[in-house]
Amino acid sequence: MPFTELRSERLALRQLVPSDAQTIFEYRSRPEVSLFQSWGLESSAEIESQIESLAGREPGAPGSWYQLGITVSSSGALLGDCGFHVLGPEPRQVEFGISLVPEYQGHGYATEALRLLLDYLFFQLGKHRAFCSVDPRNVRSIALMVRVGMRKEAHFVKSFWFKGEWVDDLIFAMLAREWKTMRAN
């Protein structure tokens, strides 16, 4: 099923277009955005070619990442992105991540975007479980997970080789039935 824009009160999650690459490059270059992220810093041209490669991709296709732009509905400004990865061996499970431009942090936009994404994954794509890997030092990300009701289900100790050292890894997860119960109340 092709992706169609997701809308909430203040935001629209839309497909990325090649002209977003420069903005994404600029905020990904900022240390406060990249500090706990495992992606390497790409050039604007590399980001543009990744966006082009998403064009014909099925959002729920097993084994692939899909990335969405988070925009403010009123102005169209791109304030960040969220990505999700449908696991190859078990396509009913999805890993996700999210980044916001620092100036747009602290207004509840990530919370709103993540709720839209979880609605999409569970209600439209029919996924069973969504999870996020979080560095225990990433306090804003942990607060976000707690705010949307994600369950902390694992703390792996020195399990992840990250930027030249072994670091701990927290797993926050949500099941479809948990999300549906939460949304109904």
Ligand X SMILES: CC(C)(COP(=O)(O)OP(=O)(O)OC[C@H]1O[C@@H](n2cnc3c(N)ncnc32)[C@H](O)[C@@H]1OP(=O)(O)O)[C@@H](O)C(=O)NCCC(=O)NCCS
Among 8, 25, 37, 173, binds ligand X (CB under 6 A): 37
Angle at 156 between CA 150 and CA 161, to 5 degrees: 115
Indicate whether 36 belongs to the interface with ligand X (CB under 6 A). Answer: yes
Sole window of 43-51, 65-73, 108-116, 151-159 interacting with ligand X (rule: CB under 6 A) = 108-116
Indicate whether 107 belongs to the interface with ligand X (CB under 6 A). Answer: yes
Interface positions, 124-163, toward ligand X (CB under 6 A): 132, 134, 138, 140-141, 143-144
Are residues 32 and 102 in contact, defined by beta-carbon separation less than 8 angstroms? yes
Cα–Cα distances in angstroms (integers) from residue 105 to residues 72, 90, 102, 111, in the given order: 13, 33, 5, 10
Indicate whether 100 belongs to the interface with ligand X (CB under 6 A). Answer: yes
Residue 2 φ then ψ, to 5°: -65, 150
Q: Which residues bind ligand X (CB under 6 A)?
A: 33, 36-37, 97-100, 105-111, 132, 134, 138, 140-141, 143-144
